[in-house]
Chain A
Amino acid sequence: MDLLTLLQVFDSTVRLATPLLLACLAGLFSERAGIFDIGLEGKMLAAAFLSAAVAYTTGSAWVGLGAGIMASLALSGIHGLASITFRGNQLISGVAINFLAAGLTVVVAQSWFGQGGRTPQLTGSARFEPITLPFAEALRDIPVLGPIYYELFSGHTALVYIALIFVPLTWWVLYSTRFGLRLRAVGENPAAVDTAGISVVGLRYTAVVICGVLCGIAGAYLATALQASFVKDMSAGRGYIALAALIFAKWRPWAALYACLLFGFLQALALRPDVIQSVLGFKVNAQLLDVLPYILTVIILAGFVGKAIPPRAGGEPYVKER
């Protein structure tokens, strides 16, 4: 196998890891604040639809992105209302949100575009175009490093770089700011945060909003960057894989990046059976590659490879003492 094939696989790894990473960081903010969110999938799906629909109508991918974030935020609002204000079951709320998005996107898409629950193809500025990093063309002929820079680092859409920037940003916010400290505290011991005179409800809503924004970007990426339209169920379980990555990463931002790259790599490999065969010398079943993230997560959860301990107050509605 030559360098170029390898770079192609890594390149699609980055592409496929991006939505996972955004959704995973979204879940990280939410769960670190003590709000379980299995509705990542639905929020991505809703954002994918509205971003594609608006991008198609306005011809601008960026306006589409804004609309996608709005769609995701609306669902976040429902989740916050159910799990923070009305102290409902966060898991059930997440399930409801996933179904709501799965159903509404198709119903509305059919009503708006009449193409069987999809949006028309996006072209030109309605899609995020790849960005060529400075000097990528000029340095291309340098052996090894040139192609690596050109193929792997350059030539992605803006959203990929945004997603990558969010990793150090999340790490900094979580561990170096007062807000981050409080956010982590509210996920471990909300009563202590409350005693210190800080609003548990406010913090949790903030986390849910951040989660909504990130899921919105992830969804918009799916429809307006990775692909060029919305199709029914296009999130295809990515929200759940992101959840798996979050557990795999034990709720830490840098580890989330590595976990998402790993799961993205598995998805990239599943698309290139010829590469696997030439490296390993035998055929690996595509279904096996597809489910490997889930199997790995179960193994991690089983505690065979280190223990994954979720935030202690996760899933518990906070009831103020009277």
Chain B
Amino acid sequence: MDGMPKWADVVLIPLISLILAAILSALVILAIGESPIEALMLMIDGALGSTYGWGYTLYYATNFIFTGLAVSVAFHARMFNIGGEGQAMIGGLGVALFCLYIPWPHWSLALLGGTLGAAVFGAAWAMIPAYLQAKRGSHIVITTIMFNFIAAALLNYLLIGALKAKGMEPATEKFRETTHLPSFQDMFSFGETALFRGTPANVSFFVAILACFAVWALIWKTKLGYEIRAYGHSESAAKYAGISPTKIIMISMLISGGLAGMMAINNVQGEAERLVLNAVEGAGFIGIAVALMGRSHPFGVFLAAILFGFLYQGGAELALWTKIPREMIVVIQALVILFTGALDDMVRAPLERMFLAAQRRKKGAA
């Protein structure tokens, strides 16, 4: 149906879905005996009220931009890459190996090297599921789920074995000084006034923004992007036009895995400065919510990632000051995925009918 104008599809539907998710979340908060309004105020103040809050919000957002872009690129080829979590873990392994064993002279080179390591390792982890989908027809969703578990076990194995530093913790050695990325505090503090003090936001936020532009250019401005979208719209039409499904599946999944892996320059190289167990903390899965909300467009992903960064930092503040546990964020995330992804038609169908009726009325009047 073309009854619906484009702005309604891009703005109105995600907005309504978001409002529905927010209403249900508010009901949950009410049900456990807290005030949703107070909770929201606390979240806004904690996440956006100071450069300290922003430093965390943007740090989380950086993770989600990468994983959201990863899911988006796969979505364009009509594939559901649920393995961002595992790919980001293995991306972390790539960053760790590159930072530990190569003597980088300066952070800028270390950032390039770390990005390369993260992307290559992440892409490699997506390659086997992609190959099995392309050549053997095994469902990419199932294989990427399996690979998440395999990645977790592999890291577990390495961090209590070969890569473990001295001491009790399952973690690698601290990376060399020259690989440490400048944080927002280093970059934006002038003289006495320290902004973003002690927050983990760092230069990889700008790499994430660059990645948004790169993905936008790739999907809408290149031949490959056209082929990916064509394949996503109709496999048979794409085949008829001489586009190789194997090539598209492989390439889009490699890009997707690479993007998910690149998240590691933020959380591993930028924040922890060493590889720890469970460094990804579910960011790979949040990428799904971010991509769905952002309608698989890099700008949408950027906005959705900031929103989820806000939810994450705000949620941490909530857990600190109220009796609402951190897991409330997981509930909100689930509701966003549910309404923007699975129940899309529930929001869309009545809207479409409304717009059609309005159009008919206009025609009748004319």
Contacts and interface: CB of A to CB of B under 8 A. Distances in A.
B65 to A, nearest CB: 20
Contact of A302 (B132, B331, B338): B132
Interface stretch (B54-62, B134-142, B231-239, B267-275): B134-142
A154 B334 CA distance: 42
B330 A298 contact: no
Chain B residues touching A, range: 35 or more
A93 B292 CA distance: 12
A88 B153 contact: no
Contacts of B323: 110-111
Nearest to B345: A86
Interface stretch (A100-108, A134-142, A209-217, A218-226): A100-108
Contacts of A244: 142, 146
Contact of A82 (B143, B332, B338): B338
A290 B329 CA distance: 29
A110 to B, nearest CB: 5
Interface string A75-115: 00010011100111111110111111011101110110000
B243 interface: no
A244 B143 CA distance: 10
A294 B150 contact: yes
A91 B346 contact: no
B186 interface: no
B174 to A, nearest CB: 24
B51 interface: no
Nearest to B131: A302
A107 B345 contact: no
Interface string B310-345: 000000000000011101111111110110011111
Contacts of B107: none
Contacts, number: 149
Contacts of A92: 80, 288, 292, 337, 341-342
A90 B82 CA distance: 13
A147 interface: no
B342 A88 contact: yes
Interface string B267-291: 0000000000000000001001000
Interface in A205-258: 232, 237, 240, 243-244, 247
Contacts of B332: 103
Contacts of A237: 149
Nearest to A101: B334
Contacts of A89: 80, 341-342
B150 A99 contact: no
B364 interface: no
Nearest to B161: A285
Interface in A6-30: none
A104 B342 contact: no
Contacts of A294: 146-147, 149-150
A93 B128 CA distance: 25
Given A86-B343, A99-B285, A107-B325, A301 B333 contact: no
B80 A91 contact: yes
Contact of A301 (B28, B32, B138, B334): B138
B157 interface: yes
11 contacts: A89-B341, A92-B80, A92-B342, A93-B338, A98-B334, A102-B327, A103-B327, A106-B325, A110-B323, A244-B146, A310-B139
Interface of A: 38, 78, 81-83, 86-93, 95-100, 102-104, 106-108, 110-111, 117, 232, 237, 240, 243-244, 247, 285, 287-288, 290-291, 294-295, 297-298, 301-303, 308, 310
Given A90-B342, A287-B153, 10 more contacts: A86-B345, A88-B343, A99-B333, A100-B331, A104-B327, A110-B327, A240-B146, A240-B149, A295-B150, A297-B142
